[in-house]
Amino acid sequence: MKNRFIRGESLIPRGSAARLLIFSVLAAGLVLGMPLAAQSRQDRNIPQNIAEAFRRAGLPVLRQKGPAPDFTLKTPGGASISLAALKGKVVFLNFWATWCGPCRVEMPSMEAVYGELKNRGFEVLAVDVQERAADVQNFLTEFGLSFPSVLDTTGRISRLYNITAFPTTFILDREGNIIIRLVGSINWNTPEMIAAFRTLLDA
């Protein structure tokens, strides 16, 4: 059964009536301006079994994978987390904000997938953009979220990843390459999606 997409909220003042309904799958090199020329075309190909598994879950992969830009940010509690330190895991990288309605809708399903797969090398890293640490921590506590969230207090990392709407999610393979970019909110906790993540974890 395929996912139904929920409206994403654009990065504009929260009082504005303008909102975006976006499902975007773009080549990582175009989205992030990443230098991929040094890689061979074959090296950038996403294995067919992984592509098929995510298509069955209703989530197409990028045409070619590319490296995710590294960053280091702090959690609301002050601990530092770098993306590079997560290499070797499948990473669910999610950009969000507490005021974003679709973010609130999808996060319980993110927590469910995290609980199901974290012991197999699956990591969720939620990047909150330009909000106070106390507000983010209160949100995490209220929703019972156990996956780590870090604070992009200046918005620099969201600009680096060319974020234009919340939520935006990137799926990274164990080598730190982006294979999926999704703008918008979905239910991640489906049998098909769990199976797709398991296929990626086993690659």
How high does pLDDT run on average in the chain?
86
| pLDDT tens, residue by residue, 143-185 | 999 999 999 999 999 999 999 999 999 999 999 999 999 999 9
Phi and psi, residue 151, nearest 5°: -110, 115
User: Comparing 11 with 183, which gets the higher pLDDT?
Assistant: 183
Map out the domains of the chain as residue ranges.
25-201
Q: What is the pLDDT averaged over residues 43-72?
A: 95
Distance CA 2, CA 24 (A): 16
DSSP symbols for 89-133:
SEEEEEEE-TT-HHHHHHHHHHHHHHHHHGGGTEEEEEEEES--H
- Residue-level pLDDT at 10: 41
Tokens of 129: 């953009």
Helical axes 191-201 vs 101-117, angle rounded to 10°: 60
- Residue-level pLDDT at 18: 37
- Residue 139 reports pLDDT greater than 50: yes
Q: Looking up tokens 């950009």, which residue turns up?
A: 95
The single-letter code of the amino acid at 66 is: G
- Residue-level pLDDT at 44: 85
What residues form DSSP beta bridges with 92? 124, 171
- Residue-level pLDDT at 40: 56
Q: Which helix (H) or strand (E) holds 198?
A: helix 191-201
Q: How confident is the model at residue 42 (pLDDT cuts 50, 70, 90)?
A: low
Distance CA 174, CA 177 (A): 7
Residue 125 neighbours by CB under 8 Å, 6+ apart: 81, 83, 86, 91, 92, 93, 94, 147, 148, 149, 150
Cα separations (Å) of 97 from 23, 65, 101? 18, 27, 9
Q: Classify domain 25-201 by CATH architecture.
A: 3-Layer(aba) Sandwich (3.40)
DSSP symbols for 22-36:
------HHHHH----
Q: What is the pLDDT averaged over residues 73-91?
A: 98
